[in-house]
Structure 1
Amino acid sequence: MAPSPQRLHRSNTSDERERVSLLLKVARMYYEEGATQAQIAKHVGYSRPTVSRLLTEAREEGVVHIRITHPLERAMSIEKALAEKFGLIGARIAESKVLGNLTQNVARCAADYLIETSPEDSVITVSNGFAVNATIEAMPRMNWLASRVIQAIGSVSNEEVQVDASETCRRLAGQLGGRHIALPAPLVVSAPEVAYSLIQSQQVAGILHYAATADTALVGIGTIEDRKKGYIFDGYVEEETSAILQRDGAVGHICGHHFNAQGEHIVTPLCARTIGINLKQIRRLPRVVGVAWGEHKLDAIRGALRGKLVSVLITDRATAEALLED
């Protein structure tokens, strides 16, 4: 007597459940527990070729989905998105939540980028600041004898020596193995006449021209809200300049010059007393590598990107994702 359709259905369903259960067991042992096919065969009581066939079935029937991925792949997709959104020629993203110091992680990304993308006879102009200093500390020792590093802005006497432009210039050249060209002038002088006289002098004018025609600039992106140590305008911003910066919505500064949320230069009386390359010259450089990160820097970074003041951004994942949310 033939089995009823109901009994046949129950039998087929039971057989299918057992088969799927076997596929799951074999797949978990192989992909999650790391067991070999021989070990699985011994455990389930089948031959190794049968186990191999079961693993193939598991993939074909969707029991197992294989996806090749890595944290770096996600970082690279963010870098691409940043470049497309802001018209950058490059970006590097450091992981925000990894073992180690975030400053060191971002700085290592910046150092790696410079070494990987620069020729040995590079001409690099460099500003000051903690991000630039950290990048130099992360630099490997090179033997780029033909390289040149030029100081982009004057020195700040009240700044920590290690992060001053004269020192970052000297130390970067030391790491690259090339020659450094210092700018023998302060960042800010007492009066516009003094600045004009210095800028017109043959030595200073020649160095500033060299800096303005460099292959690459390495700069930090400062925020006017961050008045912690190393703030380069302490003692220089008089009441009139402060009022203009507030009125015109200053969000950050690069190489001693302030800009608003759109990256537009804010002209103040301070500009006429500042010695270094200006924002117009910075925009003309083939490549400006800006190194900055952190929530407190978001407005400044965003403004620099919108204003095309940097063409390469080195930052961390959290900052990059916040920039992409706009």
Structure 2
Amino acid sequence: MTERKTLLAEVARLYYEEELTQSEIAKRIHTSRSKISRMLKEAKEEGVVEININYPWARSLETENKLLETFELNQVRVLNSKELHYNEILKGLGVLAADYLDNILKADSILGISWGKTMYNVVKSLNPSKKLPIKVVQVIGAAATNNPVIDAPDLVRHLATAYGGNYYYLYAPLFIKDDIAHNALIKQPAIIQTMALAHRADIILTGIGALNNSTPNALWEGYLKEESLENLRYKGAVGHICAHHYNINGELADLEEHNNIIGIELADLQKIDTVIGVAGGEIKARTILGALRGKHINVLITDDLAAQKVLELNELF
């Protein structure tokens, strides 16, 4: 290192590490404050000082713009994944989604939410900037899981409580296989009232589930048999939103179990102002593409690897 660069490094160290003012540094090395200012600028220009802004969850703005233009979305948030592990990606997506949600919620908003690990990460990341009299409603029946923290009732309650709002349960399982029992349950006043509120939602927050051999289907084990899942894959289904399965073009799959779901339908989502879909990982690319083509969501929160794959697949198919 040259004598000049040694001096620049010492000035930079005093300023950035010792946190001395420019005037204090000037007195120490017997020069003027204006010269210290010029030396700090020179230190950056010469590469003696490199300034990195480490955002906790950086976004890929260029990819966001490509998705906005390609799919005519209302908004997009794309996480710069930096080769993160999938669980870390879910945390990052949760932060981005929670921040976006906080920006759009207002007094008397009606927010519908589904369930799952992705939704859990969103709710866990909430840091409300204000208290609001919102209504949070469960839009599909409860999951077949032994983990209540990712199921709809817990998520609805935690989200509403975070904002000081009210929450509304859908007192039903996701599927009722028996037609008579299903029809009887959906006529119950409590179910009718909750579903009426769900249909009046301003915002829906939902995960986007994949349907492939590499994606765990633990949430579906109590409802769909493996042969039903295999039949869906055979018919070209790539994913599901609010328990309704669709193909890569977003078209609803022919599945008898769809008639036995208790909850909001895909067609209902088209009537809601803001439908936020949150999903990440390259493995979710096909299901995200289907959701976008079918216009089941109009706000997407994903990561850069998934987003790039979505754009590639959209060109191929």
TM-score normalised over the length of structure 2:
0.77
Per the alignment, residue 275 of structure 2 pairs with 288
Give 1:106 deviation, angstroms. Answer: 1.4
Confirm or deny: 8 A CA contact 1:107 1:138 kept in the other structure. Answer: yes
Distance 2:237 2:217 in 1: 20
Distance 1:164 1:127 in 2: 8
Asked if 1:83 corresponds to 2:71, the answer is no
Per the alignment, residue 139 of structure 2 pairs with 152
What SS does the corresponding residue of 1:101 show, helix, strand or coil?
helix
Q: How does 1:1-326 map to 2 (within 5 A)?
A: 75-97=60-82, 101-141=88-128, 143-225=130-212, 226-228=214-216, 230-237=218-225, 239=227, 241-242=228-229, 244-326=231-313
Larger Rg: 1
Confirm or deny: 8 A CA contact 1:194 1:273 kept in the other structure. Answer: no
Distance 1:222 1:316 in 2: 15
Give 1:233 deviation, angstroms. Answer: 4.5
What SS does the corresponding residue of 1:231 show, helix, strand or coil?
helix
Per the alignment, residue 8 of structure 1 pairs with none
Give 1:243 deviation, angstroms. Answer: 5.5
Per the alignment, residue 13 of structure 1 pairs with none
What SS does the corresponding residue of 2:186 show, helix, strand or coil?
helix
1:269-288 Cα shifts (integer Å, max 9, x gaps)? 10111111010001221111
Distance 1:203 1:79 in 2: 41
Give 1:236 deviation, angstroms. Answer: 2.7
Give 1:76 deviation, angstroms. Answer: 2.1
1:238-280 Cα shifts (integer Å, max 9, x gaps)? 74x4454133201001111101111111131101111110100
Per the alignment, residue 9 of structure 1 pairs with none
Distance 1:263 1:213 in 2: 23
Deviates more, 1:95-104 or 1:206-215: 95-104
Percentage of matched positions with identical amino acids:
33
Distance 2:88 2:108 in 1: 31
Distance 1:74 1:144 in 2: 27
Distance 1:183 1:125 in 2: 11
Counterpart amino acid of residue 324 in structure 1: L
Counterpart amino acid of residue 225 in structure 2: V
1:175-234 Cα shifts (integer Å, max 9, x gaps)? 121000000111011212222222233321221121122010110111122552642354
Distance 1:107 1:157 in 2: 23
Distance 1:305 1:118 in 2: 23
Distance 1:227 1:318 in 2: 17
